[in-house]
Amino acid sequence: MADYAIGDLQGCYSEFDALLKRVNFNPSQDHLYLVGDIVARGPDSLACLERLYSMQGSVSITLGNHDLHLIACHHLNKPANPKDKLEPLFNSSKRADYIQFLQQQPLAIWLENYNMFISHAGLNPNWSVKKALKRARFAESCYQSDDAHHYFTHMYDPHPLEWLKSLSNEEKFRYIVNYFTRMRFVDHDGKLDLKNKTNTSIDTSFIPWFEHPNILKLKQQITFGHWAALEGKVEYKNIHALDTGCVWGGAMTLMELSKNKYHTESSHSFI
């Protein structure tokens, strides 16, 4: 019996399957935590979702920006970006089932046994783990509600600059989602830089979120994906960056949680 966490799949099914075989993953005994971005840009997002759907009860997914975008496109009846290579998924007779499966997944997970917080993009430096989980539950109640269509309609409106009690529910939803699924750089006050995707901030007043003083004080383990440019290289032992850019020709990374042991599978697309 073992627990694993795995980096962004992004439609790279072949590598995903190879890693599961390498660790002899047994859905009846083992559990897999995915840091999000199951779909988009890779060659077979449909196969990834089919596999996860078949292993319900043995997998937990913290939704990423690409996953939420897929769900939003479905609810808003919008076509996917051709670059995302999602046409087979959109044409699948089980599309609605797969969307519902994703929509039931959380934004953040706390694993007491491992003292570990998991989300797609990381932890807002201004939030404790307890507060982050509370914020995640609020956002989940929005995208899992009968009003999900309404919230997805406003998901891409301008990002609120700071958290205020006076924010509307739509603004709170957007604020929370952006931190959990799009965060890379923050300033000293914890405000987001949503324009930069590299590992060097355009504005020197911004730093990687995991280098913020509030994060450096934490003793909890934090596991995330989203930031392929890091190539999994973070200098802090309690911070685990699992997106190693498989879809961009890098590798897919799986971590055995009890041992902090890493397994990698190089991208098959570039072999």
Q: Which CATH superfamily is domain 3-270 in?
A: Metallo-dependent phosphatases (3.60.21.10)
Q: What are the b/e assignments for 57-95, b being 16+ CB within 10 Å?
A: eebbbbbbbbbbbbbbbbbeeeebeeebbbeebeeeeeb
Domain boundaries, the chain: 3-270
Task: Note the pLDDT tens digit of each residue in 45-95.
Answer: 999 999 999 999 999 999 999 999 999 999 999 998 999 999 999 999 999
Neighbours of 166 (CB within 10 A): 5
pLDDT at 6 over 80: yes
Name the average pLDDT for the chain.
96
pLDDT at 271 over 80: no
Query: What pTM, to 2 d.p., does this model score?
Result: 0.96
Residue found by looking up tokens 């840009």 in the block: 41
Q: What are the b/e assignments for 106-141, b being 16+ CB within 10 Å?
A: bbbbbbeebebbbbbbbbbbbbebeebbebbeebbe
- Tell me the mean pLDDT in the region 175-184: 98
Distance CA 159, CA 5 (A): 30
- Tell me the mean pLDDT in the region 184-188: 96
pLDDT at 111 over 80: yes
- Tell me the mean pLDDT in the region 9-19: 98
- Tell me the mean pLDDT in the region 170-181: 98
| Sequence-distant (≥ 6) Cβ neighbours of residue 227 within 8 angstroms | 121, 184, 199, 241, 243
pLDDT at 159 over 90: yes
Beta bridge partners of 255: 5, 262
pLDDT at 270 over 70: no
Task: Note the pLDDT tens digit of each residue in 201-251.
Answer: 677 789 999 999 999 999 999 999 999 999 999 999 999 999 999 999 999
* 211 exposure class (CB count in 10 Å sphere: 0-12, 13-18, 19+): middle
Q: Percentage of the chain surpassing pLDDT 70?
A: 99
